[in-house]
Amino acid sequence: MFGALLLATGSCVGPDEKRELKLAHGLPVDHPVHRAMEFMAQRADELSEGKLSIDIYPAEQLGSEQQCVELVQIGSLAITKVSAAVMESFAEEYKVFGLPYIFRSKEHAFKIMDGEIGNDLLLSTEDKWIRGLCYYDAGSRSFYTKSKPITHPDDLAGMKMRVMRSITAVEMVRALGGSATPISWGELYTALQSGVVDGAENNPPSLYTSRHYEVCKFYSLDEHTTIPDVLVISQKVWNKLSPQEKEWIQQAADESAVLERKLWAESEIESYEEVQKAGVKINYPDKGPFMEKVKPLLESYKKYPAIYAYIKRIQAVE
């Protein structure tokens, strides 16, 4: 498989030949991010007048998220979508996206992603053979639980909460008083059912599409983190593209990010409606106590100058 992918993504093409790039990811085809990537492929074809095509392989056809990133690194896959939380293992600066309440609002988060700070982070993994193209909105993450709502950080005491395999996610739940339990996404439904964990944290569309709402009937919108998805391209592949091809891909990616935000917002509305129909109680806790509880966590990053510099830059943006 790797050899075929490498031929398709990294080979040189003549002026009259067609460039074919492969994009793989782990999401279902009805997901807002997949639909945005379909639009990107369409725009790349239109902008290049058929000289550049992007073939999409969804739903883990070519591997898990981690595996796809590894394929991108070695140039055997051109493009993939990865959570900014996963990117922490490639560039420590990405940890800023996983810090609780680092953004004051959705608008503040978009201003960071669309500006100089966001661009610096996209290019921070070039030496790891990964180049960021754009950010996709993945909403804000909040707690959903089986037995009781989380209305105050004290409610997390003694509770086992599933988190991503992310150091910042583990640190955040611990700072709030809960017991952080990293579990893979595919195993979480069973873990919730069997009581291995008492709850989890994620955005509304993930709560809905995963059907975790069948087990967890309390959703508390504390919105502790706003972690975007990142569309990345192999630096090995990028280096072999012509300046014109790079321009087509970047423009198509940027336009797809604009569409994705619209699709995501629509998906959130639908998700809220559907989980409430299924009996989920949505709570709106005061975020103040949560923010206060995690302040020491943000200050602890003073010992990591590269990350702390990004924290201060983000906080300085009005």
Can you give the residue ranges of every domain in the chain? Answer: 2-138+228-269, 141-226+279-316
How much is the pLDDT for 13? 59
pLDDT beyond 50 at 228: yes
The stretch 228-239 carries a mean pLDDT of: 98
58-85: pLDDT as tens digits: 988 999 888 999 999 999 999 999 999 9
pLDDT band at 43 (very low <50, low <70, confident <90, very high): very high
Cα gap 318→301, rounded to integer Å = 22
Fold match, 2-138+228-269 / 141-226+279-316: yes
Burial class (CB in 10 A: 0-12, 13-18, 19+), 20: middle
Residues 261-315 have pLDDT tens digits of 999 999 999 999 999 999 999 999 999 999 999 999 999 999 999 999 999 999 9
- Structure-block tokens of residue 165: 């395999």
At 14 the pLDDT is 60
The rounded distance, in Å, linking the Cα atoms of 129 and 90 is: 10
Taking residues 250-258, report their average pLDDT: 98
Record: fold of 2-138+228-269:
D-Maltodextrin-Binding Protein; domain 2 (3.40.190)
Architecture of domain 141-226+279-316: 3-Layer(aba) Sandwich (3.40)
Copy the structure tokens of residue 3. 């050899």
Say what the pLDDT of residue 9 is.
47
Q: What's the rounded mean pLDDT across residues 4-23? A: 65
On average, the pLDDT of the chain sits at 94
Residue found under tokens 């550049």: 52
Tens of pLDDT, residue by residue over 92-151, are 999 999 999 999 999 999 999 999 999 999 999 999 999 999 999 999 999 999 999 999
pTM of the model: 0.90
Mean pLDDT along residues 192-213: 96
